Amino acid sequence: MQRFIMKVNFNRAALANALGLLTSIVPSRTPKPILRCVKITAAGKDVRICATDLEVGINYAISEVQVEKEGEIVVPADKLAAVVRESMDDTLSVQATEGACEIKGADSHFMIYGLEGDQYPAVPGFEGEGDIKIGLDVLQAGIKQCLFATAKESTRYALNGVLWEIKGKKLLLVATDGRRLARTRVNVSTADEKAAATKIIVPAKTMALLERLVASSDKDTVAIKLADNQILINCADVVISSNLVEGNFPKYEDIIPSDYDKKLMLSTEAVLSAVRRSSLLTSEESRGIKLSIGKDSLMFSCRAPETGDAQINLAVDYKGEPIEIGFNPQFLIDVLRVIQTPEFELELGQADRPGLIKSGKDFIYVLMPINLG
């Protein structure tokens, strides 16, 4: 007779949701095969599934489970997720034997070879109160407004993350890739004295995980702890642990212009459409679009010798000095997608200085111009 070292009945949908988040950090290539696995632990009435790549970890408490026998098993994440995803059952039985994991449905039986649980790296849980508390919806809105501006695998490691800075009752989130900068402010519920003096850089991968968390209610709160160059984030059933990015973040205050005299209010929707349409004929050699601002007019244009040219005209309220300036259209589209107000303010100085976009009281975007030749 087979000896089970763990036996749990799962709600398939709840297990699939958990694995969807957990597998997002499981490395596809690693010299340590155990990191391609997740660890399932059943204790008392609770079941937790953990994943880590040694930089970021997820400790996920699964809801809607029935523990028949306590124990633990380490099983390849991709195989387990595929079986759960393709199953048609409402409930799945997961049974661990020595070195294997059996998954049973009404008409199915899978056996996946696993590893011993004690070989898996420790993934922290969350105990006590947090140093910072913030609404999940509030934090996710802030992440959406800055994550896109982080660098992608820059050798300047500080640019691969988002700066967190507490100022009073506000959390400032700042991201830059050296060509653009996004800064937003969101309200925190509570922040203790230690947190109020904190400046940390959270990896972009960790920010993306936070953005993916699904709220169980409108009042879900994120509790955050800071310790030993790590951040611990607890929301409902999920604990995310992450190393922080080392290095010095650029002095972003020095990058934000404060002396511009050319200002105009613009419709977010109208400008997004104009940028998209005027960039349709751009090419690898001619990627930029030109903004020509004159009395009560704004024209978006592009000229690509190999494809043609385009012009889009908008009527605006502007009485200042005329100016022509070039921008990367994708960098404009990126910010216009995340602006949450129907209108925004565009501020300009000279054609060789960055453009400044403001939305509401809390969002600022700085964009370097490009030379259109």
Mean pLDDT of the chain: 92
Q: In the predicted model, is pLDDT for residue 185 greater than 90?
A: yes
pLDDT digits (tens, 9 = 90+) for 325-368: 999 999 999 999 999 999 999 999 999 999 999 999 999 999 99
Residues 174-195: what's their mean pLDDT?
Answer: 91
**What local confidence, expressed as pLDDT, does residue 295 receive?**
93
**What local confidence, expressed as pLDDT, does residue 372 receive?**
83
Q: Are residues 319 and 285 part of one domain? A: yes
Res. 309 pLDDT band, cuts 50 70 90? very high
Chain-centroid distance of CA 367 in Å reads: 21
pLDDT digits (tens, 9 = 90+) for 227-267: 889 999 999 899 999 999 998 999 999 999 999 999 999 99
Does the residue 343 lie in any domain?
Answer: yes
pLDDT digits (tens, 9 = 90+) for 256-282: 999 999 999 999 999 999 999 999 988
Work out the percent of the chain whose per-residue pLDDT is above 90.
Answer: 79
* Domain end among 67, 85, 119: 119
How many structural domains compose the chain? 3
* Domain end among 92, 119, 146: 119
pLDDT digits (tens, 9 = 90+) for 9-55: 999 999 999 999 999 999 988 899 999 999 999 999 999 999 999 99
Contact assessment for residue 232 and residue 126, using Cβ atoms and an 8 Å cutoff: yes
Residues 74-90: what's their mean pLDDT?
Answer: 96
**What local confidence, expressed as pLDDT, does residue 217 receive?**
64
Q: Nearest to residue 232, comparing CAs of 206, 208, 214, 199?
A: 206
Q: Are residues 207 and 268 part of one domain? A: no
Contact assessment for residue 81 and residue 40, using Cβ atoms and an 8 Å cutoff: no
Q: How far apart are CA 126 and CA 147, in angstroms?
A: 25
**What local confidence, expressed as pLDDT, does residue 284 receive?**
74
Q: Are residues 99 and 175 part of one domain? A: no
**What local confidence, expressed as pLDDT, does residue 370 receive?**
94
Q: Which domain holds residue 53?
A: 6-119
* Domain end among 252, 273, 308: 252
Q: Are residues 218 and 170 part of one domain? A: yes
Does the residue 1 lie in any domain?
Answer: no
Res. 306 pLDDT band, cuts 50 70 90? confident
Q: In the predicted model, is pLDDT for residue 194 greater than 80?
A: no
**What local confidence, expressed as pLDDT, does residue 218 receive?**
64
**What local confidence, expressed as pLDDT, does residue 157 receive?**
84
Does the residue 21 lie in any domain?
Answer: yes
SS3 per residue for the chain: CCCCCEEEEEEHHHHHHHHHHHHHHCCCCCCCHHHHEEEEEEECCEEEEEEECCCEEEEEECCCEEEEECEEEEEEHHHHHHHHHHCCCCEEEEEEECCEEEEECCCCEEEEECECHHHCCCCCCCCCCCCEEEEHHHHHHHHHCCHHHCCCCCCCHHHHEEEEEEECCEEEEEEECCCEEEEEEEECCEECHHHHCCEEEEEHHHHHHHHHCCCCCCCCEEEEEEECCEEEEEECCEEEEEECCCCCCCCHHHHCCCCCCEEEEEEHHHHHHHHHHHCCCCCCCCCCEEEEEECCEEEEEEEECCCEEEEEEEECCCCCCCEEEEECHHHHHHHHHHCCCCEEEEEECCCCCCEEEEECCCEEEEECCCCCC
Does the residue 105 lie in any domain?
Answer: yes
Chain-centroid distance of CA 333 in Å reads: 18
Q: In the predicted model, is pLDDT for residue 1 greater than 70?
A: no
CATH number at residue 313: 3.10.150.10
Q: Are residues 97 and 37 part of one domain? A: yes
- As a whole number of Å, the CA-based R_g of the chain is 25
Contact assessment for residue 140 and residue 168, using Cβ atoms and an 8 Å cutoff: no
**What local confidence, expressed as pLDDT, does residue 60 receive?**
97
Q: In the predicted model, is pLDDT for residue 63 greater than 80?
A: yes
Buried residues in 132-146 as b, exposed as e (16+ CB within 10 A):
bbbbbebbbebbebb
- State pTM to two decimals: 0.92
**What local confidence, expressed as pLDDT, does residue 116 receive?**
77
Does the residue 240 lie in any domain?
Answer: yes
Work out the percent of the chain whose per-residue pLDDT is above 70.
Answer: 97
Q: Are residues 264 and 241 part of one domain? A: no
**What local confidence, expressed as pLDDT, does residue 128 receive?**
84
Does the residue 319 lie in any domain?
Answer: yes
Residues 310-338: what's their mean pLDDT?
Answer: 95
